[in-house]
Structure 1
Amino acid sequence: MSKPAPTLAAAGQAPLTTLSGVGPAVAEKLAARGLVTLQDLWLHLPRQYEDRTRITPIRNLQAGVAAQVEGVVEAVERGFRYRPMLRVAMGDDSRGTLVLRFFHFRSQQVNQFRVGARVRAYGTPRPGQHGLEIVHPSYRVVDDAEAGVVGEALDPVYPAVEGVGPATLRRLIAQSLQGLPGEDELELLPREWLQAQGLPSLRAAVATMHAPPRDADVPALLAGLHPAQRRLALEELLAHHLSLRRQRIAMQAHAAIVLRDDRLARRLTSALPFALTGAQQRVFDEVRADLAQPSPMLRLVQGDVGSGKTVVAALAALLAVGEGRQAALMAPTELLAEQHLANLRGWLEPLGVRVGWLAGKISGKARAAALVDVASGAMQVVVGTHALMQEGVAFHGLALAIVDEQHRFGVHQRLALRDKGAAEGIVPHQLVMTATPIPRTLAMAAYADLDVSAIDELPPGRTPVQTVVLSAERRPELVERIRAACAEGRQAYWVCTIIDESDEVVAQAAQTTHEQLSASLPGLRVGFVHGRMKPNEKQATMRAFKQGDVDLLVATTVIEVGVDVPNASLMIIENAERLGLAQLHQLRGRVGRGSAASSCVLLYQPPLSQAARQRLETMRSTSDGFVIAEKDLELRGPGELLGTRQTGIADFRIADLARDADLLPEVHRIGEALLDDLPQVADKLVDRWIGGAARYAAA
């Protein structure tokens, strides 16, 4: 007995158990794939299509070109030469013969293929022993009434759901589409907007995607460029944009302390041994304008490695101190936090500003004393790791929360720091920073709740790093190059991608490399640092390198962020083909921080894949972090680039930021219009695509 159909109004949110054939076990398997409601099935789009709208004469088949054929069984052979095998020869009126070959089959299937039976089969022919054959085609036996009768639409092939067969999934989706509401009930966007973009209604788009007509542009469908896909991508991007904007609006409904007193900031600017670049001054002006408002600042400052974000953060912190409030700067690693601490103490303490330190390794009486100073306000600027957010840490008057390398923190960690300063409806201003340049399209989609500033100019005196790409066979030359560089008083890095030897990975292990280089360069002091070391051991080695007590540092990618050694002028990255562009760019940013000419050598293990070749060529040809970020987005996609856990961007079902970037300006325009004029429609769009999932940080 079939289950009653849900009402149209509730159709999209109806559970899949309302479908015939979906009991608790099947529902659980579907839910594991994120398919819970009818709407989830509507948006579970095909990954490809099979054209069964025509029957190809067997004589016209081409090897490698999928086709549908129909003919009569002429012979059946069941064999067991090396493994069970079923061969079925079929012919048609074109006097062609085709063999259907099966390695996995049941006795019932053998009985279906009696000589004289009419069979329709679909698959990709390939050359066999006796002409063309199709291995494991999809097929069915047809009667005389069905002979030659074909459908009007292409057949969908859906992404697999573990434990649910393709035929069952296809049947359930077809059944769910019967409950698709009428156009007027389903559509949320004004018709004139869609017409201006040349896009169909949502109902037409969904119907087309699941059953494209026989004359559909299949290459466009497979490339994600068909108007039906663009329509769905537009609405999904719009829902994510609205979700972020709504969170921003909710955040800015809070009050924040107005920070206007810039006397300390002006004193620091005058005392600095260098002048701010034009980009640093522009970004600080944007930050200062935000901090002068009674609503909380929500600003992302992105800038390439070495562009001078910390100075901007220091000036912003002084605006808080100038008003008798506190600022906190949180970094993802102790190494990076310590570097910020050294810079801020050097700049701020001569101005009479007390800069404090709070990290996991501080314990006992030292921690207790630090907590008292933070709670009393004696510590005016507090630098630390995620220890800043732990229970027991209470601020006296936190007015500005600064988060560095924000993409390395989870949503809850950023919120926790903000909440440390929340009191009686007042929340701290928020400044988040990243040294990983973000492509404009990605920033538009991922950070619509933030204002974005870019420090797109390097300070004068920074020498461009020369990047060369070499095969691993030339390692011996590089050992001599290190010897020469260190003889001139310079320091060098040798970066490895793994710690221990592995039979499965063709990569030089860091441990082995350290031993080999120590033996090859007996006159040099060779240090070794990796992620599995105890934090204090790692810090000691890094400190020795920074102070010049280590000539060559062999390291894993643990040094990617936050190491500032101006005297290091040579970096060798082993097995560079195994690293992503962003990581390679961050590593390269560890050299070229002084005035000496610097080099980065990318060693690769041949043969190179096409993607690896593109990455290395990009690194060789440009040092512009924004250009590299755009290429990274093209090669890797947004999910990997941002880190899936923190953002939710990778959770797009249909949209692809690299492919659909040109839709973003329209998404922003429509989004702002909806928030102003049709807020109830904005709510419905967010509920449809995102629901109650808290995918984005409001921090």
Structure 2
Amino acid sequence: MSGPQPSAGDASVATLRGVGPQLAEKLAAHGLRTLQDLWLHLPLRYEDRTTLTPIRQLLPGMPAQVEGRVEAVERGFRYRPMLRVAIGDDSQSTLVLRFFHFRAAQAASFRVGKRVRCFGEPRPGQHGLEIVHPSYRLLDDDTDAALSASLDPVYPAVEGLGAATLARLIDAALQRLPPNDALELLPAAMREEFDLPEWREALLVLHRPPPDADIAALREGRHPAQRRLALEELLAHQLSLRRQRLALKRNGAQPLRPRGRLAAMLEKSLPFRLTGAQRRVLDTIRADLAQAQPMLRLVQGDVGSGKTVVAALAALAAVECGAQVALMAPTELLAEQHLNAFRAWLEPLRIEVVWLAGKVKGRARSDALARIAGGAAVVVGTHALVQDGVAFRNLALVIVDEQHRFGVHQRLALRDKGQEGSKVPHQLVMTATPIPRTLAMTAYADLDVSAIDELPPGRTPIQTVAINTQRRDEVVARIRAACAEGRQAYWVNTLIEQSEESDRPGAGARIEAQAAQTTFEQLSRQLPELRVGLIHGRMKPAEKQSTMTAFKRGEIHLLVATTVIEVGVDVPNASMMLIENAERLGLAQLHQLRGRVGRGATASSCVLMYQTPLSQLARERLAVMRETTDGFRIAEKDLELRGPGELLGTRQTGLATFRIADLVRDAPLLPSVQALADRIMTDSPALADALIARWVGSAARFASA
């Protein structure tokens, strides 16, 4: 296999006629810098202006083009300005064109008898079918206006640029498409194997579909032209991640081969036995750590599956070999949970555990930095671990929890803290957000993936119900009864109201905190016999920790909180979770919050309180939460409903931002993509280079994070 290096697409958009510095800047702000970027700026949908449809044959919800003469014009101001234009055609039927935004000259141009051609989506109105804000042309009687020869593309909007201008620029870029020989990367044999059209042909079909194109296939993303580009893009991302993995593996790492004395001592002291899944994953990690190449392993496990103790046992492999371990978590609350667990388990074994976070200041910080530089065995902290001035003596294992919450550069920076010459630390990445298989095969192709897919014995299933907010008093009564029996409860407040202020930096957190404060005051009045606590993201770390400690000790019956308690909070006596405005949250976040209960032997419940009317998406989310507590099933549904970009977070630079591919729609292509990647990596490095350059570009360098 071999692949030519494309170059025509690298030309700047500024080489197109009419594109000056200002327009080039607008395009660049949307990632449109080269001709190839314009080639790959594909239509969102298509409008069929190749035929005219008689008004009598129009169907509600089916976009169509019609032509007729103006029969009546009416301007009204009942609630707001409105223009209604009735047109009729030879089918003896009438269609109303309705405009809410119009100019006086525009209204005056619709004279009775004037010929109009318009396009839009008919819908039922007061007097038959109508089209709101159609696109239209006024025609002279002697004008023979030709119909379009192909379906008209509708492109994703570019701010500050009209749709017609954008279409003109894309058309100009397409005219600069070189012959297919200069564009094609996939060998003919490979295209035949998967029945794929040529790259140039696929592009032109998607930008200029012929009148007989399969509109349904284009709309659903299953047209051969879309399949061709999606497969190539997925292949390029797969190759990019594999390249990064190979590059990192070539660095080498310190082999960690302890006798296992410390791990045996810790296991003996634990008040529980490891599950079979925990042991299986731990054995895999130990085998990785013993190698002279760096471990790159992602451990995923549902909430409460016991990832932290697995991380602690893995850390002991490094400690017993005289090396250091760093554990980084995204929030101080979660990091402190890990700190408390590690200290409880490791300090009895005389292992030093150092704490470093943003709130550690002055002499305490200087002392922590000195102990880290001096070789402290285990360091737990937040992103403060990657700041300047933090130096490790012999960092051999990096553990990152909830890694998708970190920026790429932060993960790279922590790894680099342990780089010595060509050696880098082993990396163990953990997440309590189960990752759908399709996502693991793409965005995490540079990592080995393990799953702790078994919950510890004794856990009781969580009963989940969804109720309207109008039944709030019933919920308060249930909480009163549960707490009277000696149990504890959470009341989670999401952001209740959006406002213009919430677009400002930090404003969302402030409004969320205010909403939680209001709920705290209401519940304190309604439940005077209970001790009600409050925790939110704008409290000082010491206040948050004090409140959480009191809750864990049972000194607080009901904890009112924002989603700050989403991960890492472990209070076995808390058996009831209420989530207010649950319709506002995604499935993964709802599942994480629900996982704060059901951690003890008492039967637990989760109440999802929602406001009506519910969107279809919200209905589906709440239905899934009621049907299952299986985090992996929930993750698959979350991917289907929200897409990979939201699921991974926008900071997963270059990994989830596909231009063409859709991980849900194109999941069936992934096995073929992986097989092709195997062949190309072995047989054709030049082809891999060309594919990565076309689809991934500079984003590839982040993939080893």
Q: Which residue of the partner structure matches residue 343 of structure 2?
A: 345
8 Å CA contact 1:74, 1:91 repeated in 2: no
Q: 8 Å contact 1:236–1:654 — kept in the other structure? A: yes
Separation of aligned partners in 1, 2:65 and 2:604: 62
C-alpha distance in 1 between matches for 2:637 and 2:129: 43
1:539 aligns with 2:545: yes
Is the contact made by 2:150 and 2:210 (CA closer than 8 Å) also made in structure 1?
yes
Mean Cα deviation higher: 608-617 or 444-453: 608-617
Structure 2 counterparts to residues 482-521 of structure 1, below 5 A: 482-498=479-495, 509-521=515-527
Identity %: 67
Closer/same/farther in 2, CA of residues 75 and 380 from structure 1, 3 Å limit = closer
Q: How does 1:464-475 map to 2 (within 5 A)?
A: 464-475=461-472
Q: Does 1:38 align with 2:35?
A: yes
Taking the aligned partners of 2:543 and 2:127, their CA distance within structure 1 comes to 69
Shift in CA distance, 9/608, structure 1 to aligned 2, threshold 3 Å:
closer
- Does the Cα contact within 8 Å between 2:575 and 2:602 map onto a contact in 1? yes
What residue in structure 2 maps to residue 53 of structure 1? 50
Asked if residue 648 in structure 1 is aligned to residue 654 in structure 2, the reply is yes
Cα distance in 2, alignment partners of residues 420 and 498 from structure 1: 38
Q: Report Cα offsets for 1:617-652 as digits up to 9, x if no partner.
A: 211111111111111111111111111123434421
Partners of 1:414 and 1:302 in 2: CA distance: 18
Tell me the residue number matched to 1:241.
238
Q: Which moved more, 1:28-37 or 1:317-326?
A: 28-37
Q: Distance in 2 between matches of 1:208 and 1:151?
A: 15
Cα distance change of structure 1 residues 90 and 449 upon mapping to structure 2, 3 Å threshold: same
1:607 aligned residue = 613
Alpha-carbon deviation of 1:11?
2.0
Superposed CA deviations along residues 576-598 of structure 1, whole A, max 9, x for unmatched, are 12211111111111111111222
**1:95: how far off?**
6.2
Cα drift, residue 432 of structure 1? 0.6
Q: Is the 8 A contact 2:460 2:603 kept in 1?
A: yes
Find 2:159's aligned residue among 157, 162, 171: 162
CA distance in 2, matches of 1:356, 1:599: 37
**C-alpha offsets along residues 301-325 of structure 1, whole Å, 9 cap, x if unaligned?**
0101111111111111111112111
Indicate conservation of the 8 Å contact 2:54/2:89, yes or no: no
Paired residue for 1:5?
Answer: none
Residue correspondence of structure 1 range 246-645 to structure 2 within 5 A? 246-263=243-260, 264-377=262-375, 379-498=376-495, 509-645=515-651
How many angstroms apart in 2 are the aligned matches of 1:501 and 1:84? 29
**Structure 1: gaps of 5 or more residues:** 1-7
Match of 1:683 in 2: 689
CA distance in 1, matches of 2:152, 2:433: 43
Indicate if the aligned counterparts of 1:359 and 1:384 stay in contact, CA closer than 8 A.
yes
Distance 1:65 1:425, change over 3 A: closer
Structure 1 CA distance for aligned equivalents of residues 75 and 606 of structure 2: 61
Q: Decide whether aligned partners of structure 1 residues 106 and 669 sit closer, same or farther in structure 2, where only a CA change above 3 A counts.
A: farther
Distance 1:334 1:60, change over 3 A: closer
- Map residues 205-220 of structure 1 onto 2, 5 A cutoff: 205-220=202-217
Distance 1:290 1:105, change over 3 A: same
Q: How many corresponding residue pairs?
A: 687
Distance in 2, matches of 1:435 and 1:131, equals 54
The DSSP-based 3-state class of the residue aligned with 1:329 is strand
Q: Secondary structure at 2:652's aligned position in 1?
A: helix
Q: CA deviation at 1:225?
A: 1.5
1:645 is paired with a residue of what secondary structure?
coil
CA drift of 1:140 comes to 6.0
Q: Match of 1:224?
A: 221
Deviation at 1:343, TM superposition (A): 1.7
What is the alpha-carbon distance in structure 2 between the residues aligned to residue 297 and residue 507 of structure 1? 41
Letter of the 1:586 partner, please give it.
Q
Separation of aligned partners in 1, 2:583 and 2:233:
34
CA contact (8 A) 2:82 2:98 kept: no
Does the CA-based 8 Å contact 2:582-2:609 persist in structure 1?
A: yes
Aligned residue for 2:351, secondary structure, equals: coil
CA distances 1:49-100 after superposition (whole Å, capped 9, x unpaired): 11122233455445554333456x57796979886959585655x5666676
> What is the one-letter code of the residue matched to 1:653?
R
Taking the aligned partners of 1:365 and 1:100, their CA distance within structure 2 comes to 73
Distance 1:96 1:350, change over 3 A: closer
| Distance in 2 (alpha carbons) for counterparts of 1:635 and 1:177 | 34
- Is the alpha carbon distance of 1:105 and 1:285 closer, same or farther for their aligned partners in structure 2, counting shifts above 3 Å? same
How far off is 1:185 after superposition? 1.8
Q: Is the 8 A contact 2:266 2:345 kept in 1?
A: yes
TM-score between both structures, scaled by the size of structure 1 = 0.91
2:280 maps to amino acid: R
86 and 427 in structure 1: CA distance in 2 versus 1, 3 angstrom threshold: same
Output aligned runs, 1:129-144, within 5 Å: 135-139=133-137, 141=139
- Residue 367 of structure 2 aligns to a residue in which SS? helix
In 2 relative to 1, CA 62–273 (structure 1 residues): closer, same or farther, beyond 3 Å?
A: closer
Paired AA for residue 19 in structure 2: V
Deviations 1:185-215 (A, max 9, x none): 2111122222222221211111111111212
Contact 1:305–1:435 at 8 Å: present in 2 too? yes
Instruction: Give the 3-state SS of the residue equivalent to 2:606 in structure 1.
Output: strand
**Matching residue's letter, 1:640:** E
Distance in 1 between the 2:358 and 2:59 partners? 67
Q: Is the 8 A contact 1:436 1:582 kept in 2?
A: yes
1:434-483 per-position Cα deviation (integer Å, ceiling 9, x unaligned): 11111111111111111111000011111122222222232223323222
Give the CA deviation at 1:353. Answer: 2.0
For 2:258 and 2:682, locate their aligned partners in 1 and report how far apart those are by CA, in whole Å.
34
Aligned counterparts of 2:475 and 2:128: Cα–Cα separation in 1: 57
Structure 2: gaps (5+ residues): 503-510
Give the whole-Å Cα distance in 2 for the aligned partners of 1:170 and 1:544.
61
C-alpha displacement of 1:274: 2.1
Change (3 A) 1:318 1:174: same
| Matched-pair contact (CA < 8 Å) for 2:383–2:410 | yes
In structure 1, the residue corresponding to 2:213 is in which secondary structure? coil
| CA distance in structure 2 between the aligned counterparts of 1:429 and 1:326, rounded to whole angstroms | 11
Q: CA deviation at 1:105?
A: 5.5
1:13 and 1:579 map into 2 onto residues whose CA distance is: 41
More off after superposition, 627-636 vs 26-35: 26-35
RMSD: 3.0
Q: How far 1:335 sits from its partner (Å)?
A: 2.0
Q: How far has the Cα of 1:512 moved from its partner?
A: 2.4
> Higher relative contact order at CA 8 Å, sep ≥6: structure 1 or structure 2?
2
Q: Distance in 2 between matches of 1:575 and 1:588?
A: 14
> In the alignment, residue 206 of structure 1 is paired with which amino acid?
L
Question: Take 1:143 and 1:35, find their aligned partners in 2: how far apart are those partners?
Answer: 41
Alignment of 1:14-163 (within 5 A): 14-58=11-55, 60-62=57-59, 64-70=61-67, 87=85, 91=89, 104=102, 120-125=117-122, 135-139=133-137, 141=139, 146=144, 149-163=146-160
Once the two structures are overlaid, the 10-residue window that deviates more, 97-106 or 555-564, is 97-106
